Chains A and B, each alone.
Chain A
Amino acid sequence: MDIKRIKQDFPIFNQQVNDEPLTYLDSAATAQMPNSVLNAIEYYYRHDHANVHRGTHTLAQRATAAYEQARQKVGDFINANQTEEIVFTRSTTESLNWVAQGLTKMINPGDVIVATVMEHHSNLVPWQQLAKRTGAKLRLIGLNDQQELDLDDAKRKIDAKVKIVTIAHASNVLGVINPIKELSSMAHRVGACMIVDGAQAVPHLPVDVQDLDADFYAFSGHKMLAPTGIGVLYGKMEWLKRLEPSQFGGEMIDQVTQQAATFKPVPWCFEAGTPNISGAIALGAAIDYLNQFGMDQIADYERQLAVKAIPRLLAIDGLTLYGPHDHHTGVLAFNLAGIHPHDAATALDLEGVAVRAGHHCAQPLMKELGVDATLRASLYLYNDQKDLDCLILAIKATKEFFENGFEKA
């Protein structure tokens, strides 16, 4: 991959932050957009903008075709069996909420829902609420000594009472990829529905939903070079047919009388109201951009960057890195002894280095790790060795500032 060229595709990097070149290491929160995606949004609004699925005029036809073409690109990208298994949503959070809401009738008192302690709040709170509504119980799979998902614990917890298993494909903190295929087969052995939060996986790894045997798979556009406000819910057709829509109104209906309505088929029955058309088209453009390189190559590249960064981070006195040390995705969560992550993040920002500080919407995991918060540097295909050099230098300067004093102002 020609990294110099990749960076040039992203106009946002052509700026200084706090008088320093921008070192953007927060792609796990949101990724930046290349020119091709920005152009796709602009092109749509300048040439094809109209509402979808309802106009007879030319623009409406073009907008509809572009929107449905985006659905096909998404389906192909994650190897869905058919394009109609792709539902456009607002975000991963909305996708997961729709599943939790739409499966309510399937859950009875005493049933069990299984998640893990490493889940993002968006794949935990909807299930807590479902459990509360139905009288079901929520069980969380723990971590092993390597701070990875404990498969033995998973085997113990996925028993005959389990109706839903819902797990992140890749952690937004620990830098691990969970063995979804194995977990799917455990879930299916007991007749449970397997749901995957793919927000941190689809942007960074080849994902094949059929190979994973996921019943539902959720992810967001904005973490994979597309804008905010567009998300995806994949579901196996048999499962989408069982899922009750959460929202009702225009676009999703077939026939409406004064007292009742029938709905369109899957996936349109879930897309009530005018959807995020430009967002879907931009997501299609983002997929085209990623496909130029191929997800295998992107995953390899990020892994290599992380593998090189880890020993350099660990060599910094007082630095604790979370998750396994011998293998890691491009998500690097760490703390510096004696320096609160919020203080450190402000210092890094003044050096032009953008990292996240906080609980990363994973408070149960923070508790498990025994911390209130961590720093997190996260990589994407546009990051390079120089970005990591800047990070390491900025961490060292930050330590120097907080440990050995400050100049009296």
Chain B
Amino acid sequence: MGLRRLNYLYRAVVLEHASHPHHQGAMLDADAQTTLHNPTCGDTINLAVKVDHDHISDLMFTGSGCTISQASASMMGDVLIGQSVDDAKKLIHDFSELIMGKEISSQAQDQLKDAAILGSVAQFPTRIKCAALAWHAAQELLE
């Protein structure tokens, strides 16, 4: 089997997001921000959000990590910006179900855009935390 299975995890779109991440950089006028670590590998993410009339108007991240954690953060920005806080929480929940290998509705899959492809991480249990890091940070900020 060998490395061929890597293709499931590192799809072109994942590698593209990791090498050219969206929404990466500092935000000076954030309404809230947080830093989370993945204690097993030392990955770090700082996530900042701006909320306007109960909608996420902007979201930026900084930090360092593996391809999966960086791509996931980039994809998450595409998904969450423009969403109401409640819808964003629901999408975060859907993403969490997806990477744990659970079925989610096709509507939810569509709403998760590129991030839906990270569902393949469920086949790589040691990497689920990498995909989840940014989304945990977002959840913390929105709570």
Q: Which chain A residues have a beta carbon within 8 Å of chain B's beta carbons?
A: 18-20, 340-343, 346-347, 349-351, 357-359, 363, 366, 372-373, 397-398, 401-402, 406-409
* Complex contact A342–B12 (CB within 8 A): no
* Complex contact B2–A351 (CB within 8 A): yes
A343: chain B residues at CB < 8 Å are 10, 66-68
Q: Quick check: is B89 within 8 A (CB to CB) of the other chain? A: no
B40: chain A residues at CB < 8 Å are 358
Interface on chain B toward A: helix, strand, loop, or mixed SS? helix
B6: chain A residues at CB < 8 Å are 346-347, 350, 401, 406
Contact of A346 among B1, B9, B11, B44 (CB under 8 A): B9
B interface bracket (residues with beta carbon within 8 Å of A): 20 to 34
Give complex CA distance A372, B2 in Å.
Answer: 27
* Complex contact A350–B5 (CB within 8 A): yes
Cβ < 8 Å to A, chain B residues 1-30:
1-12, 15
Q: List 25 A-B contacts (CB under 8 A).
A: A18-B2, A19-B2, A340-B66, A342-B43, A342-B65, A342-B66, A342-B68, A343-B66, A350-B1, A350-B6, A351-B2, A351-B3, A357-B41, A359-B41, A359-B42, A363-B42, A366-B42, A372-B44, A372-B65, A406-B6, A406-B15, A407-B7, A408-B7, A409-B7, A409-B12
* Complex contact B1–A401 (CB within 8 A): no
Q: Mark B106-143, 1 if CB is under 8 A from A, else 0.
A: 00000000000000000010110010000000000000
Give complex CA distance A357, B126 in Å.
Answer: 11
* Complex contact A350–B41 (CB within 8 A): no
* Complex contact A372–B3 (CB within 8 A): no
B64: chain A residues at CB < 8 Å are 372
In the complex, the chain B residue whose C-beta lies closest to that of A408 is B12
Q: Mark B86-108, 1 if CB is under 8 A from A, else 0.
A: 00000000000000000000000
Contact of A409 among B2, B8, B124 (CB under 8 A): B8
A18: chain B residues at CB < 8 Å are 1-2, 5
In the complex, the chain B residue whose C-beta lies closest to that of A360 is B42
Give complex CA distance A346, B68 in Å.
Answer: 11
* Complex contact B66–A19 (CB within 8 A): no
Q: Which of A19, A366, A406 has the most CB of B within 10 A?
A: A406
Give complex CA distance A161, B58 in Å.
Answer: 54
Give complex CA distance A366, B12 in Å.
Answer: 31
A408: chain B residues at CB < 8 Å are 7, 12
Contact of B127 among A346, A363, A406 (CB under 8 A): A346
